[in-house]
Amino acid sequence: MKLLEERILRDGKVYPGEVLKVGGFLNHLIDDALLEQIGTEIYALFKDDNVTKIMTIEASGIAIACYAARHFHAPVLFAKKSKTANISSDCFTAQVKSYTHGNTSTVFVEKEYLRPEDRILIIDDFLAHGEALRGLISLTDQAGAHLVGCAIAIEKGFQGGGDALRAQGVKVCSLAVVDSMEGGKVTFRE
């Protein structure tokens, strides 16, 4: 997606430790106009897949999921990271290691919101090692739901998570695939 690549080149920042910072438009301050385009693009990629539910993980996947949901007319289910007083104990759970947060957390969704008849499109802002996606796929599998595929805004292709999932037959569509950030210069996969 040309518009997203251009925005990454213009406003993204490369930090040590292979960190690509896009907080100015994607996952801290969210650019409404860009997200509209991202939602439209994701719909174009999965419009024929009879998606019944979009699943994401808090927090930064929620915005993209919502901008896509409008086109699918599908509800958004977001996996949570902390139990609160209003959560049922009857949950599907998965362990997710976060390289950005530097920890492993248990993510969960309540069983009643993820059903065997669901056709799930997973959406997230970033795909690097693929840990969050694997967690969400595990939740989908536990529910006996059908995984339609995964739509990602930015994939760090050089970290291999996306290609490993593709090799397993998962439909993974990333709107921008970063192949290298060496020397602070971002280059995209053709």
Interface residues with a copy of itself (CB under 8 A) are 15, 17, 19-21, 23-24, 28-33, 35-36, 58-59, 62-63, 66-67, 69-70, 72-78, 80, 82, 84-87, 98-102, 109-110, 112-113
**Which CB, 155 or 170, lies closer to a copy of itself?**
155
Residue 128 burial class via C-beta count within 10 angstroms: exposed 0-12, middle 13-18, buried 19 and up: buried
**Which CB, 54 or 173, lies closer to a copy of itself?**
54
Query: Which residues touch 23 (CB under 8 Å, ≥6 apart)?
Result: 29
From the list 88, 76, 86, 178, the residue with the least C-alpha distance to 136 is 76
**Which CB, 156 or 170, lies closer to a copy of itself?**
156
Shortest spacing between CB 58 and a copy of itself, in angstroms: 4
Shortest spacing between CB 72 and a copy of itself, in angstroms: 8
Alpha carbon distance 146, 157 (integer Å):
25
Alpha carbon distance 126, 27 (integer Å):
10
DSSP three-state, residue 48 = coil
Shortest spacing between CB 188 and a copy of itself, in angstroms: 19
**Which CB, 32 or 48, lies closer to a copy of itself?**
32
